């Protein structure tokens, strides 16, 4: 009963992993496609739900491991580090703040250094890439090879390759996000800073709706400009903003008596592109290793070993190890050649002597159908 | 001779081959051991003569070839080709498992057996050239 319950829970976790991977990918696709905030908001909730679920899973597994005094084994050998990296940091830095921002209606607002804030936001969003680590957990649970050795080696290689890719992207992406490098996204941020600076230095440039319209259209990152509560310029209608923009999609800044709404979506799109690139690259690496390396390992390592094991264990098993012409010098095939050339002939002779009178060891039953043509 | 006739000839030779057992000292219960794997030409001549009388309905050449299949080819290089073939096939039949599933990473059953037999040809008194040819045929056909 207990085993069935645990098995049921493991199935639920596996299903949740599949769903969260689909959720992560769909969320990024929605950002790229410019989907409405109503739809994206649903994914924000589900993303938080999944992160909370996996955090609970990690805590329960950790507690269980501590209770069994095998926490170190859980973290190092049973992919506990994946459970940790793909749960708590995401809940604290990504989905948690996003949900808080949504519930409190908070936006990126204030009068501090805009670029610094945007860099931090971008760096925090990089953590979403860590969600892909869950792919490793589901991969470990798929039984894709007959041989335990093939399965273990392939899982080890996939884990190494995919986690290296994911962590590298996260760390390098964070470093790049926090440093200044010229690029499209930086130009967008610079445009926002320049907008604030221009209004602080020359408030008359946006004085009145006509001037504000001209000024606003020359600043692609500006969504809306207000002088106190008077809207001087709006790139789109209020309904459009309500439909397509949510907290996190824009930033509000003060410049003297003016209030500026900046569009942050290009940064989101850029991040989603990177996430999708990493996600698809990781999937491609995993699939390629499964499709190409796993059979290669089976052919060049485990299959010859299994043939030799059967030959050593079973008296009547006398099939030779097939030695590919490409790898005759591989250690395993040198062993296979020795098995073919030395062991099997000796075994055959030994069996023949044990059986007694090889040439005469035929009964009438063996040849009863010989003359039937 | 047609292929079918050759096949029947080899089958008849194989059928006669165990007759050596009936003339061996102790008969069928003579015990195991390498001594009975191969017989001497003198003994083969006597067995062929006696078997020929008993199996008078069969051509003597066929009976003689069946008995001679228990000779070593190394010591008797002029023995009949049907006898040599019968010796190889007789041993092959002992190890044969019809419908045997060949594991991944293993050679096919016949190819494996003929290759092992090539290494043991002196022990069993096989014709090495014939084994090489049979191994090649098995390899070509994936047997």
Predicted confidence band of residue A158 (pLDDT cuts 50, 70, 90): confident
- Please say whether the dihedral angle defined by the alpha carbons of residues A197, A202, A205 and A208, taken in this order, is positive or negative: positive
Tell whether the model's pLDDT for residue B33 goes beyond 50: no
Q: How far apart are the first and last CA of chain B?
A: 25
Q: Each residue of B72-106: pLDDT tens digit?
A: 998 888 888 899 999 999 888 887 877 778 888 99
Range of the structural domain that residue B97 is part of? 3-141
Average pLDDT over residues A213-223: 81
Provide CB contacts within 8 A for B141, sequence distance 6+: none
Q: How far apart are the first and last CA of chain A?
A: 61
User: Would strands A230-234 and A258-263 be described as parallel, antiparallel, or unpaired?
Assistant: unpaired
Residue in A with minimal Cα distance to B108: A319
Question: Which of A229-238, A319-328, B7-16, B78-87 has the lowest average pLDDT?
Answer: A229-238
The pLDDT value recorded for residue A67 is 92
Test B93 with A307 for CB contact under 8 angstroms. Answer: no
How many other C-beta atoms are found inside a 10 Å radius of the C-beta of residue A148?
10
CA dihedral B115, B118, B121, B123 (to 10 degrees): -50
Average pLDDT over residues A23-46: 91
Residue in B with minimal Cα distance to A371: B11
The pLDDT value recorded for residue A275 is 84
Domain count, chain B: 1
Please tell me the pTM assigned to this model.
Answer: 0.70
Q: Each residue of B54-73: pLDDT tens digit?
A: 888 889 999 999 999 999 99
CA dihedral A68, A72, A77, A78 (to 10 degrees): 50
Test A359 with B104 for CB contact under 8 angstroms. Answer: no
Does B101 contact A at CB distance below 8 Å? no
The pLDDT value recorded for residue B107 is 93
The pLDDT value recorded for residue B35 is 40
Mutate: best of A299, A310, A358, partner B, most B CBs <10 A? A358
The pLDDT value recorded for residue A358 is 44
């Amino acid at each position: 009963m207990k085993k069935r319950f645990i098995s049921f829970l493991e199935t639920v976790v596996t299903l949740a992993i599949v769903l969260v991977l689909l959720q992560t990918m769909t969320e990024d696709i929605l950002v790229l496609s410019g989907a409405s905030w109503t739809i994206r908001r649903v994914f924000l909730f589900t993303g938080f739900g999944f992160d909370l679920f996996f955090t609970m899973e990690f805590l329960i597994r950790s507690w269980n491991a501590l209770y069994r005094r095998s926490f170190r084994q859980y973290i190092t050998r049973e992919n506990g580090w994946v459970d940790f990296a793909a749960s708590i940091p995401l809940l604290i830095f990504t989905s948690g703040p996003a949900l808080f921002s949504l519930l409190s209606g908070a936006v990126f607002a204030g009068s501090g250094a805009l670029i610094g804030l945007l860099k931090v936001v971008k760096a925090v969003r990089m953590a979403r890439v860590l969600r892909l680590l869950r792919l490793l957990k589901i991969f470990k649970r798929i039984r894709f090879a007959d041989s335990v050795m093939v399965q273990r080696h392939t899982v080890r290689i996939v884990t190494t390759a995919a986690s290296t890719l994911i962590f590298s992207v996260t760390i390098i992406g964070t470093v790049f996000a926090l440093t200044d490098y010229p690029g499209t996204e930086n130009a967008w941020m610079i445009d926002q800073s320049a907008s604030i600076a221009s209004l602080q230095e020359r408030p008359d440039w946006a004085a009145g709706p006509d001037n504000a319209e001209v000024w606003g259209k020359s600043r692609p990152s500006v969504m809306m400009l207000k002088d106190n509560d008077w809207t001087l310029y709006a790139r789109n209608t209020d309904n459009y903003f309500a439909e397509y923009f949510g907290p996190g999609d824009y930033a509000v800044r003060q410049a003297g008596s003016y209030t500026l709404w900046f569009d942050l979506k290009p940064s989101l799109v850029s991040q989603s592109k990177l996430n999708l690139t990493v996600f698809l690259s990781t999937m491609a690496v995993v699939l390629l290793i499964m499709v190409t390396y796993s059979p290669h390992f089976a052919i060049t390592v485990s299959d010859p070993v299994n043939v030799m094991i059967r030959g050593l264990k079973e008296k009547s098993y006398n099939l030779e190890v097939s030695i590919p012409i490409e790898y005759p010098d591989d250690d395993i095939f040198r062993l296979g050649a020795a098995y073919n050339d030395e062991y099997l002939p000796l075994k055959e002779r030994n069996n023949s002597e044990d059986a007694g009178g090889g040439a005469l060891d035929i009964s009438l039953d063996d040849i009863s159908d010989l003359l039937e043509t | 001779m047609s292929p079918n006739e050759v096949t029947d000839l080899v089958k008849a030779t194989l059928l006669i081959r165990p007759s050596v057992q009936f003339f061996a000292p102790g008969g069928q219960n003579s015990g195991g051991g390498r001594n009975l794997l191969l017989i001497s030409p003198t003994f083969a001549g006597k067995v062929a003569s006696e078997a020929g009388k008993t199996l008078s309905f069969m051509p003597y050449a066929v009976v003689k070839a069946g008995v001679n299949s228990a000779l070593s080819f190394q010591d008797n290089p002029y023995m009949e080709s049907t006898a040599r073939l019968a010796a190889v096939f007789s041993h092959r039949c002992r190890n044969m498992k019809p419908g045997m599933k060949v594991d991944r990473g293993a050679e096919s059953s016949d190819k494996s057996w003929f290759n092992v037999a090539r290494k043991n040809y002196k022990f069993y008194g096989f014709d090495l050239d014939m084994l090489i040819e049979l191994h090649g045929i098995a390899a070509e056909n994936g047997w």
